[in-house]
Chains A and B, each alone.
Chain A
Amino acid sequence: MLTTLFRVIKYGFLNFWRNGWLSVATLSIVVMALLVFEGLIIFNVLTKTAIETFKDKIDISVYFKIDTPEDEILRMKKSLETLTEVKIVEYISRDKALEVFKERHKDDPTIAQSLEELQENPLMASLNIKARNPKEYAVIADNLEKTSFRNWFEKITFAQNAALIERLGKIIDTAEKGGMIMIILLAIIAVLVTFNTIRLAIYSNREEIGIMRLVGASGSFIRGPYVVEGIIYGLMAGVLSVIIALPIVYFISPYIEIFIPEINLLFYFTSNLFILLGYQLLFGVSLGIISSSIAIRKYLRI
């Protein structure tokens, strides 16, 4: 049993070596397929981060009349927090608002001066509401219109931004769905191309397989070396694709940071290098094993 296993592994390596160009050609196809996988993983991370960033920037603010008692505002905050659509409600008191305002305009002496002259804090208290899902802002806004606290409201920002928020929500939705479809499609293409390449490599060996059968080799003794070859393709392609991707990521990372400042692609890539490599090896090896096992089946029926 052990001798057989040893022989199967030996022939796997020997075939890989002796097939020369065929092995190189097959290997490069597997590398390309894995690069697509890698690209998909990175693309997925990018869109997710980008979408999260956009989502985070959308909110509704309710401004209260200057004479609204703080208790009322806090009561309203509590009641808002019970809504399932609401992710977080942030209370910004009049003092807090002033502080932020001063901080933001500290380099502008005219504003500081006019504030001094006013003596009283002109800013309104507000509740800043973020929804779990951008599509739910309409529901929240509707809720705000009907609430018993309505009389204390000075203004709601949603009315001004309604169209924009709704559109952003739609864009995010399409981006998520479209991204998913693209990922599935590309993954299927990569799998099919790899499968076909390995199938062709085995097809070119069909006569040899027939000869092995005639000499009395069992199915598994013939299949074994091809599966080992598949594993070799997977392992080598996994390592190669990460090595190839590294300089590419290094090169494009600064450009992506211009579009989405929250993302440092190079940092993501290097800090997740081993997880990525693990994924690649897993993809590559299982692709190699499955493709070669399926492809060889029909030639073993003699």
Chain B
Amino acid sequence: MIIFQNVSKIYNGNGHKATALEDVNFTINPKEFVSLVGKSGAGKSTIIKLLIGEEKPTKGRVIFASYDVNKLKLKELPYLRRRIGVIFQDFRLLANKTAYENIAFALEVAGRLQSDIEEFVPQILEMVGLKEKMFNFPKELSGGEKQRVAIARAMINHPDVIIADEPTGNLDPINTWEIIKLLLKINELGTTILLATHNKDIINYLGRRVISLEDGKIIRDEEKGRYVLV
């Protein structure tokens, strides 16, 4: 479903080059729950940016389902992104839209019917436990609540994969576990999850596949991985 083939990414700034990824190869199959671990700057975020077409690789191919991601034109990118749900450390909710509208927006951009929106959005808000705060704006929500809105937005379009980039980085331990449990539940329902994190406890608790990165290279790819200090 997701294939990285000999992918390298070199940033070119003011004469000096910075290698973010070097010859990265991996495949993620449907319904897998994969964690990407590594220190900051190891290349986790770059992999995510390449996958959603925010950046283009310097070398190699990125394939998602039937899309050859780096060959997509600007106009075709939205179709790819509607099949991928993304969750970020800083939530990235639309500040001047309510929780309800933030989630509805993801359906609206896909051209879904108003009746669908009115049916699905309250359902998913109930699932993430935020039905009472449906009409609150992001600034009126706590960090954990914001992240749950973001997760609801990411899964509303029934994406093939959900990518979570340090989703618990800004949250306290209790909220962290709730978010992880939510991700596990989504995975059980059949959605592929790609989780980038450097939280050791989470990795050890999950006991799923772990891809470890260091300086832009994959140093370990284990089926039932643990967090190994390097």
Contacts and interface: CB of A to CB of B under 8 A. Distances in A.
Contacts of A210: 92
Given A208-B95, A218-B109, A3 B114 contact: yes
Contacts of B82: 216
Contacts of B52: 214
Interface residues of B, number: 26
B81 interface: yes
Q: Which of B75, B80, B95, B105 has the most CB of A within 10 A?
A: B105
A15 B93 contact: no
Interface residues of A, number: 23
Contact of A215 (B81, B96, B111, B114): B81
B54 A215 contact: no
Contacts of A208: 94-96
B74 interface: yes
Given A214-B81, A214-B92, A219 B109 contact: no
A219 B75 contact: yes
Contacts of A7: 108
B190 interface: no
B18 interface: no
Report which residue of A213, A214, A215, A221 has the largest number of chain B beta carbons within 10 angstroms of its beta carbon: A215
B109 A217 contact: yes
Interface in A189-208: 207-208
A113 interface: no
Interface string B121-156: 000000000000000000000000000000001000
Contacts of B96: 14-15, 18-19, 208
B20 interface: no
B54 A302 contact: yes
A60 B157 CA distance: 85
Nearest to A7: B108
A253 B132 CA distance: 61
A215 B95 contact: no
Nearest to A208: B94
Contacts of B86: 214-215
Interface in A237-264: none
A219 B106 CA distance: 14
Contacts of B110: 216
B174 interface: no
A219 B94 contact: no
Q: Which of B86, B95, B96 has the most CB of A within 10 A?
A: B96
A4 B113 CA distance: 10
Given A215-B81, A216-B80, A218-B75, 6 more contacts: A211-B93, A211-B94, A214-B54, A215-B105, A215-B109, A218-B109
Interface of A: 3-4, 7, 14-15, 18-19, 207-208, 210-219, 221, 300-302
User: Which 10 A-B pairs have CB atoms at the shortest separation, nearest pair first?
Assistant: A216-B81, A216-B82, A217-B109, A18-B96, A218-B78, A216-B78, A211-B92, A215-B106, A7-B108, A216-B109
